[in-house]
Structure 1
């Protein structure tokens, strides 16, 4: 259990420090990360995702508020905070230019550790619409028939 807690602390610190190399060392080369924005497979896609996030929120910080470990999995709640000053790329290619707005919201992630001692998968959960609204982007939903 101590090993998975140390790995969670390491990846959280790497994200808050914007250290892509250290972040990727916490994940298996073939890791799969699922976010509300889409599925990321492998270091190349995961690295690209976090580079975009670090660019959009240069002061991005995650603070763990709770965690629970069960065997090879850990679930944690955290607070995401950052100032939206860079371009934020949305699913589908739409870009939101930096607004200077401060974004703070609760989120959760569940990681599963693989046999090699690093995370094989991760699933992030957060209110995507609330996140976009805090950036100043007011998405309009279309009714489909």
Structure 2
């Protein structure tokens, strides 16, 4: 498939994600999908991550800022926003809903095979995500250096 066709697949995937439509997984994700960020293989574990995210952040939305494709690889930068109102866990530790609104920039790198996502990586600022949830905070010195509020 052409880079433009691959971009269209990624756009369709993100639009379905924003619409909470997990039915597209069978059409857009290969059965042995390799998720390098979460170190898992398989379409079902990948689908489960989305289900968990929908429960914890029911209003999560990813706005595509830019997309670049070359060969069978697509890079997409999104601005993601959401409110933590549901159950969630981090490394198996339950995190009760905080009610906090989050905003973060994320980059996804996907390799496609025959019009389907075959493997992917996510790049984001996990520390900032955890700070916005109230799970980590800057030290007093860090607050001065970065001008950050707790």
After TM superposition, the score normalised by the length of structure 2 is 0.84
Greater Cα radius of gyration, structure 1 or 2: 2
- Residue deviations 1:14-57 (CA, integer Å, cap 9, x gap): 1111212214531101111222xx22311121111111111100
- The answer on whether the counterparts of 1:96 and 1:137 sit within 8 Å (CA) in structure 2 is no
Q: Residues of 2 paired with 1:107 and 1:24: CA distance?
A: 24
Which aligned runs of 4 or more in structure 1 are off by greater than 2 angstroms?
Answer: none
Give 3-state SS (helix, strand or coil) of 2:39's partner: strand
* 1:87-126 superposed matches below 5 A: 87-91=87-91, 93-114=92-113, 116-126=114-124
Cα distance, 1:24–1:60 mapped onto 2, change above 3 Å: farther
State the TM-score, normalized to the length of structure 1: 0.87
8 Å CA contact retained: 1:14, 1:20: yes
Higher helix share: 2
CA distance in 1, matches of 2:80, 2:88: 15
1:18 and 1:25 mapped to 2: Cα distance?
15
Quick check: 1:7 aligned with 2:9?
yes
Q: Which moved more, 1:127-136 or 1:54-63?
A: 127-136
The count of aligned residue pairs is 136
- Cα distance in 2 for residues equivalent to 1:53 and 1:29: 21
